[in-house]
Copies of this chain bind each other. A is one copy, B any other.
């Protein structure tokens, strides 16, 4: 109802904790960084990208499956994790399926 509108708390008001106030004092602009998607491009029209492998149909003794979401041959690994790791300092790599 009218008269009960609340001012949203924000940096610049005087209602904040010591921590928030000191953040406000130190920085001129509040930058909120949201947790990031790890898949920027692959099959974004799908709500959830799930792939299935019928293991009896594997053709080769060793097949590498991508877990970095950067492969040009997803769901297979094409080695793109190397570039991703170098660019970001990450340490991701594929899942190897072995027909013993």
Give A residues with C-beta under 8 Å from B. 27-29, 31, 33-39, 43-44, 46-58, 65-69, 75, 81, 84-85, 87-100
Q: How many copies of this chain are found per oligomer?
A: 2
Give the residues in chain B near A47, CB-CB below 8 Å: 91
Question: Which of B49, B69, B91 sits near A43, CB closer than 8 Å?
Answer: B91
Closest chain B residue, CB of each to CB of A44: B91
- The verdict on A98 contacting B53 (CB below 8 Å), with A29-B28, A88-B37 known, is yes
B54 and A88 contact, CB distance less than 8 A:
no
Nearest 6 A/B pairs, CB to CB: A37-B90, A55-B55, A38-B38, A50-B93, A48-B93, A52-B96
